[in-house]
Amino acid sequence: MELSEKFGVLIVDDEPNIRSGLAKGLAAEADTIDTAADADEALLKFEAGKHPLVVVDVRLNCNMTGLELLKKIVQLRPHTAVIVITAHGTVETAVDAMRAGAFDFILKPVDLHLVRQQVRKARQHYELQQENLALRTRLADSGEMSNIIAGGTAMEDIFRQVRQVAATEATVMIHGESGTGKELIARALHDLSDRSGGPFIAVNLGALPETLLESELFGHEKGSFSGATRQKPGCFEQAVGGTLFLDEVTEMSAKSQVDLLSVLDTDDFTRVGGEERLISDARIISATNRSVLELIEEGSFREDLYYRLNVIPIELPPLRSRREDIPLLVEHFLEFFCTRHKRPTKRVSPEAIQILAAAAWPGNVRQLRNVVERLVITCAGDMIQASELPAELRKLTRENVRMPNSLAEAMDECEKATIQLALEACNLHRENTAKALGISVRTLHYKMGRYGLH
């Protein structure tokens, strides 16, 4: 899709008066409107044209019901929004429609004002999809951070900072909770730097015992200790001309901190058991998921080392502060894992997306990735339902979320809950809350008034 593509609506109903009435009433909400009297005509027009939104009656005087047509439409183009209209509304029919992937469900007699509202919401959703796709395409085409999936303002600020810093030789410390993608940012800094042609060496300092850490970082000479049967270059030596990424840097022992500080001060080092001074020519990027200032205060991390590493700090937001990215991340992981595990293409129902977007995600993007992989493997159908989500996520909905009457109401409740969480996380500071949500302060004030938040 290109942002310049028009927003087309296809109206499917076997009653001519309803078709023409809806086409006339929705003329101002769409760029183009097509109509069809039955499922066969609808499929021909749908396949031939571009209709991000389809409005369909459940009962059609043909060999296919509106729900069957809905299922075919989402199979052909999974991101199509479908509004289902019926004069025979029951809870079961509504549930079936939503599970099949309907955007919303409206009862006859048709309230044209309500239909217009839902069409506007569908158009906003479509335009957001286009913006996200355009962003991903732009980043991929330019080679900039194409491995990072994001569409909201919070990560755009990070991208901007990475572009500014990448071309320099300054040391960078990436701060963020576990699972937020710190290594991806480190790789982006490397890929956009003048050192991109050199190696990118990553080492998890928290995963190595102190007895092995010195050898891992600086290498060792043959015979320098029991088991050292050959000379081995360390990470500093391997990263010459490139980037050395020190993950979980705050887990280093006191001695290892002194050794690292010495290299940063002198730009040279020796292998364990050796005497030759080797030049350190690697850009240093470090990362931590802990509060370094608290560690300094308690005496477990050197203040002078912190200032050497933290020349340029980059703060990665947790997933709960960038909820607008969750649908895009889910879509990306679905595509990735369906391909990896050779599964047919799957979609996530609107109800399930609501639960995923409202979850706390203490493990951040890594946790979401693992959940989506599990769903791809364990869910048999093409549509992942809310009932198939992990129990801990479904529990959130049962205990804290009243089941809505429509998808529009569900989206409002999700937005309200998200704003409440952000306000609490930012101690009711409105400017910080707006920044965390990726919206303006004015928009935040409007939404708080709308939802009765103070």
Summarised one tens digit per residue, pLDDT across range 315-349 is: 999 998 888 888 888 988 998 999 999 998 888 88
Residue type, 130: Q
Q: At what angle do helices 407-425 and 112-142 cross, to 10 degrees?
A: 60
What pLDDT, in 10s, does the model give residues 21-56?
Answer: 999 999 999 999 999 999 999 999 998 888 999 999
Count of beta carbons in the 10 Å neighbourhood of residue 274: 16
DSSP code at position 320: G
Instruction: Please report, rounded to a whole number, the percentage of residues in the chain having pLDDT higher than 90.
Output: 40
**pTM over 0.75, yes/no:** no
Encoded tokens for 28: 């101002």
Q: Is 348 helix (H, G, I), strand (E, B) or coil?
A: strand
Instruction: Check residues 190 and 60 and name the one with the higher pLDDT.
Output: 190
Across the range 310-319, mean pLDDT stands at 94
Task: Say how far apart CA 42 and CA 36 lie, in whole Å.
Answer: 5
* Residue keyed to tokens 């069809």: 36
Which tokens belong to 277?
């001074």
Q: What is the pLDDT of residue 89?
A: 59
- Please state, in angstroms and rounded to a whole number, the distance separating the CA atoms of residues 353 and 50: 25
Quote the tokens at residue 259: 């050794």
Name the least confident of 102-106, 142-146, 166-170. Answer: 142-146
Q: Within 13 Å, how many C-alpha atoms sit on residue 223's CB side?
A: 0
Total Cβ atoms within 10 A of residue 333: 20
Rounded to whole angstroms, the Cα distance separating 127 from 423 reads 27
Phi-psi label, residue 373: left if phi above 0, alpha if psi -120 to 50, beta otherwise: alpha
CA distances from 71 to 80, 154, 343, 364 (A): 11, 35, 19, 32
Two tokens, residue 375 = 């769903």
Query: Is 119:29 a contact under the CB 8 Å cutoff?
Result: yes
Give the chain's domains with CATH numbers: 8-134 (3.40.50.2300), 153-317 (3.40.50.300), 320-451 (1.10.8.60)
The SS3 call for residue 203 is strand
Alpha helices in 102-253, H assignment, sequence order = 112-142, 153-166, 182-191, 210-218, 235-238
Q: What is the mean pLDDT of the chain?
A: 84
Answer whether residue 422 shows pLDDT above 90: no
Residue type, 368: L
Confidence of residue 398 (pLDDT cuts 50, 70, 90): very low
User: How confident is the model over 438-450, as a mean pLDDT?
Assistant: 78
Question: What band does 188 get if pLDDT is binned at 50, 70 and 90?
Answer: very high
H-helix or E-strand spanning residue 275 = none
Highest-scoring range by mean pLDDT, 156-165, 238-247, 439-448: 238-247
